[in-house]
Amino acid sequence: MIDPLQDTSARPRRTIRILSYNVHSCVGTDRRLDPGRIADVIAELAPDIIGLQELDVGRKRSGGIDQAEAIAKRLKMDFAFHPALSVEEEQYGDALMTAFPMRLVKAGPLASIGEPRGALWAEVDLDGPLQVFNTHLGLLRRDRQRQADELAGEGWLTHPDAKGKPLVLIGDFNSIPSSAPYKTLARLVDDVRSQTGRLAAPSFPSRWPLLRLDHVFVAHGPRILSSEAVDVGLAKRASDHLPLLAHIEI
């Protein structure tokens, strides 16, 4: 007899919307600084879980506000922020946001020679735990490979608390699908092409998207139904990246 607690095929499945968005410190292609505009773009897409990259917190160049808190408050979501870069009171980094119960598991740096980079890992309760990872890889090729190797290791994706569990990995990887860092991760997790047969959507630059740099990966149960770079309305101006919206069945 099959134990229904162990038989995952017997559990109801649901579709959620996951967003990855490099917000460029909330400075748009029109050089306008506007966290509210970023929040409006996100609100229109109605995601359940959000991974943001390139957020300013307490930086003079962006008026000293906490962009992560301001956006989360406007969206009425909880958030977790990790500063990849800290200089005195000024911080710059990435965040995870959701209205579902969320527990931050880990936030930390990734090996960097160039500009510091990091990642966040949170467990989101969606009538069952989903491990969600958000990251932003470096601009230097050797940094990206080291960072991908680190993410694939026991500190992150293959950590005992994540290994074999339903997970989603999102972020700005600064890597196209044919690159070595991307392939390093794709050996562990599935991308949109492996699950739908479609190429990842180009998301950069936002005005004339040509490069596939922002990605969503899944493993151990979740299934990507679709993934699109949203290029309508404010999204083409609010940041230099387009928001990447994925519909995922869990």
Task: For the chain, give the mean pLDDT.
Answer: 94
104: left (phi over 0), alpha (psi -120 to 50) or beta: beta
Domain assignment of residue 11, yes or no:
no
Domain assignment of residue 244, yes or no:
yes
Domain assignment of residue 110, yes or no:
yes
**Model's pTM, two decimal places?**
0.94
Domain assignment of residue 192, yes or no:
yes
Q: Is pLDDT larger for residue 108 or for residue 7?
A: 108
Domain assignment of residue 85, yes or no:
yes
Residue 5: pLDDT band by 50, 70, 90 thresholds? very low
The stretch 149-162 carries a mean pLDDT of: 98
Question: How long a stretch of residues is the chain?
Answer: 250
Check pLDDT > 90 for residue 231.
yes
Paired with 204 in beta bridges are 211
Write out the H or E segment, with its range, that includes residue 145: helix 141-152
Check pLDDT > 60 for residue 82.
yes
Domain assignment of residue 143, yes or no:
yes
Domain assignment of residue 3, yes or no:
no
The stretch 71-94 carries a mean pLDDT of: 95
The stretch 234-246 carries a mean pLDDT of: 97
The closest alpha carbon to 156, from 145, 174, 168, 142, belongs to: 168
Count the domains in the chain. Answer: 1
Find the domain containing 147 and state its range.
Answer: 16-249
Q: Provide CB contacts within 8 A for 235, sequence distance 6+.
A: 41, 206, 242, 243
Check pLDDT > 80 for residue 70.
yes
Task: Answer for the pair 215, 173: CB distance below 8 angstroms, yes or no.
Answer: yes
Check pLDDT > 90 for residue 89.
no
- CATH number, domain of 183, equals 3.60.10.10
For 44, phi then psi, to 5°, come to -65, -30
Domain assignment of residue 50, yes or no:
yes
Question: What pLDDT, on the 0 to 100 scale, is given for residue 139?
Answer: 96
